[in-house]
Amino acid sequence: MAGLVIRNFDAADETRPFEEGKGRLDLLHTAGGPVGLAVFEPGWRWSEHVKPLAGTDSCRSAHTGYVVSGRLKIVMDDGESAEVAAGDFIEVSPGHDAWVVGDEACVTLDWTGYGDYAKPA
């Protein structure tokens, strides 16, 4: 393992586009596991733009991350919900839907849940 690793999402190891051009997930594969930068464009909704790729009724990924910009509404399968915004640290259990709130893209960093996210079933 190198003593110093510097990577940039502009040179991601993998990019996964969302349905209808509503954003993308850029992944860096690291020694500690995948780290993802997701860009959710205005109008993006998991149940419309990722569900067809995932093939599940709700998002089955657990997320630990940080909201860089924009806002998301997250609704758990049991009805619990919250809105997150730039500057928020988030932990989200599997079993949820989410969508962009407003006219600004939402950008998130995630270091636990994006390894299999938006990967065709």
Listing DSSP states for 88-106 in one string gives -EEEE-SSEEEEE-SSS-E
Q: Which CATH superfamily is domain 13-110 in?
A: Jelly Rolls (2.60.120.10)
pTM (2 d.p.):
0.93
pLDDT of residue 45: 97
What share of the chain has pLDDT > 90, as a percent? 88
Report CA 35 to chain centroid distance, whole Å.
10
For the residues 78-93, what does the mean pLDDT come to? 98
With beta carbons less than 8 A apart as the criterion, state whether 74 and 92 touch. Answer: yes
Q: Phi and psi (nearest 5°) for 38? A: -110, 140
| pLDDT tens digit sequence for 26-35 | 999 999 999 9
